[in-house]
Amino acid sequence: HNTTTNELRSAFLEYFGENGHRIVPSASLVPQNDPTLLFTNAGMVPFKNVFTGQETRPYSRATTAQKVVRAGGKHNDLDNVGYTARHLTFFEMLGNFSFGDYFKAEAIEFAWTLLTKGYGLPKEKLLATVYSEDEEAAELWRKIAGLPEEKIIRIPTSDNFWRMGDTGPCGPCSEIFFDHGPDVWGGPPGSPEEDGDRFVEIWNLVFMQYFENPPGTRTPLPRPSIDTGMGLERFAAVMQGKRDVYDTDVLRSLVEATADALSTDPDGPLRASHRVVADHLRSSAFLIADGVLPAKDGRGYVLRRIMRRAMRHLQRLGASEPVFYRLLPALIRQMGSAYPELVQHQSLIAETMRGEEERFTALLERGMSLLEDETARVPEGGALPGAVAFKLYDTFGFPLDLTQDALREQGRTVDVDGFEGAMAEQRARARAAWVGSGDSAAETIWFDARERLGASEFLGYVSEKTDAEI
């Protein structure tokens, strides 16, 4: 069986390579062409300007295995990690792209042939969604794949209509789902039980057939394009007979590395913590390899939040000294050959992890004991006062989402408005306490800078909501 994650990745690229696609190496997690985007969060990101026509390439078909991070910004899966069987913050997106070359029929044909003939997935286990207005796609799924009517599901929501932004290319999409069978709880897409684990989305095909500009006005593109994305880990789970991405070869070995390092049971009551650590190890290591370092704002603050969250889960698993960096060799064993940047930057990654752990460990311990005391006073289902969350943030370096994550396990939340209020109050106090000579240019500059820095620390939190903060 050629079903290791590494083999599945190679087979995908080979298949599209043989079908006239240029095999393009993964671009950086830091978008090179879009300053408004936090991280590369889909396979198409490096090709944005090719799709809009601003940039041309010497090929009209491409295929990639693209590193992506979905933590912060438009696609933020950070809070899903450890809680669903299908979400990671770092994953690899396999994709094939047509830049005004082939369109809908070929895209569906390629995907169907690869899944059923190439990888040998049973046809009966697959189904497809289409956008409710895209009768053409429904017809193609009938004709090409022979899918019966009940396995072509029409979805009227924006889930099945993709747009690059308020203006630009857009079009309907079609998502391919795998059915794990009636023994697993869950319902088909569009049903009330769609969040269950029975039906899992593996591949998303985007049919870019319109150009929107101004917002709300669409014109058909003369040469429509294709963008697809298949999550390698989800696909590996299906191919390896697992329901859960954390049970695939690569992620399972990282879960076990954590369990070995701390002598814990990876399938015991702290199972979720093992998973969070495995996921966050990958996102941290890959971000550092691409030049992101933990910082007070922007991308670096998202990285810091991810790393500190991992550290809290490691502490929960019993760690009393730095251990995150010691998991790196396990990751390199699994992914170092496909991603040599991990090997090349191994010492930078390890030192960055270790440094952050050393800085945070003492604060974490003291902060957690404060948090535990305070949580004991919050009734089940209640909210931690914003002032406490702010103190944890300000004095102990707890990103808000770390506190929220810790409370979620206890069935409690955080008063976010109160947290924001406490933050604003502290700023106001600092400004009022300033006794200067009045309106000199130097003071204005000083204040502006201070305001910016303060504001930017806050951006790490705000970035949950917007892509455009950098």
**Residues within the interface to ligand ATP (CB under 6 A):** 70, 77, 86-88, 91, 93, 201-204, 229-231, 233-234
d(CA 262, CA 323): 9
Q: From the CB of 74, what's the least distance to ligand ATP, in Å?
A: 10
| Least Cβ distance, residue 237 to ligand ATP (angstroms) | 10
Q: Pick what 467 binds: ligand ATP, Mg ion, none; C-beta below 5 to 8 Å, kind-dependent.
A: none
- Whichever of 83 and 446 has its CB closer to ligand ATP, that residue is 83
What are 229's strand-pairing partners? 204
Question: Which residue, 90 or 419, has its beta carbon nearer to ligand ATP?
Answer: 90
> Residue 86 or residue 308: which is nearer to Mg ion going by CB?
86
CA distance 54 to 46: 13
As given in the structure block, the two tokens for residue 217 are: 């006005």
> How does 401-418 read in b/e, with b if 16+ C-beta sit within 10 Å?
bbbbbbbeeeebebbeeb
- Only segment of 45-53, 195-203, 235-243, 379-387 that touches Mg ion (CB under 5 A): 195-203
- Minimum gap (Å) between residue 239 Cβ and ligand ATP: 13
Q: Looking at beta carbons only, is 12 or 161 nearer to Mg ion?
A: 161
Q: Which is nearer to ligand ATP, 190 or 322 (CB)?
A: 190
Which whole-number Å values give the CA distances from 224 to 55, 91, 97, 269, in the listed order?
A: 16, 28, 11, 50
The nearer residue to ligand ATP, 331 or 384, going by C-beta atoms, is 331
Residue 266: contacted member of Mg ion, ligand ATP, none (CB under 5 to 8 Å, by partner type): none
Judged by beta carbon distances under 5 to 8 A according to partner kind, the member of Mg ion, ligand ATP, none in contact with residue 415 is none
Cα–Cα distance for residue pair 228/303, rounded to 1 Å: 27
Minimal CB distance to ligand ATP: which residue?
231
Nearest alpha carbon to residue 64 among 286, 289, 338, 336 = 338
Sign of CA dihedral 39, 44, 49, 52: negative
Minimum separation from the CB atom of position 469 to Mg ion (A)? 20
Which residue's CB is nearer to ligand ATP, number 204 or number 404?
204
Q: CA-CA distance, 464 to 74, in Å (whole number)?
A: 8
Instruction: Write down the least CB distance from residue 70 to ligand ATP, Å.
Output: 5
- 208 or 407: whose CB is closer to Mg ion? 208
Minimum distance from residue 413 beta carbon to ligand ATP (Å): 23
How far apart CA 336 and CA 284 sit, in angstroms, is: 15
Report in angstroms the alpha-carbon separations of 333 from 6, 27, 340: 12, 21, 11
What does 202 bind: ligand ATP, Mg ion, none (CB cut-off 5 to 8 Å by kind)? Answer: ligand ATP
Q: What is the DSSP letter of 100?
A: S
Q: What residues numbered 151-180 form the site for Mg ion, per CB under 5 A? A: 175
Q: State the minimum distance, in angstroms, from the CB of residue 227 to ligand ATP.
A: 10
Cα(30)–Cα(116) distance, integer angstroms = 34
Q: How far is the CB of 305 from ligand ATP (least distance, A)?
A: 16
Per-residue tokens: 178: 């795998």
Regarding 258 and contact with Mg ion (CB under 5 A), the answer is no
Choose the contact partner of 231 out of Mg ion, ligand ATP, none; CB within 5 to 8 A by kind. Answer: ligand ATP
Alpha carbons 449 and 452: distance in angstroms, whole number: 5
- CB under 5 to 8 A by kind: which of ligand ATP, Mg ion, none does 229 bind? ligand ATP
Note the helical H segments in 32-172: 48-52, 104-113, 135-145
The CB-of-248 to ligand ATP minimum distance in angstroms stands at 11
How many CB atoms lie under 10 A from the CB of residue 10? 15
Distance CA 263, CA 314 (A): 12
204 binds Mg ion (CB under 5 A): yes
| Nearest position to Mg ion, beta carbon | 204
CB of 259 to Mg ion, least distance (A): 28
- Phi-psi group of 298: left, alpha or beta (phi > 0 → left; psi -120 to 50 → alpha; rest → beta): left
Considering the complex, state which of residue 204 and residue 334 has its C-beta at the smaller distance from Mg ion: 204
| Residue closer to Mg ion, measured from CB, 63 or 160 | 160
In the complex, which residues of this chain contact Mg ion (CB under 5 A)? 175, 201, 204
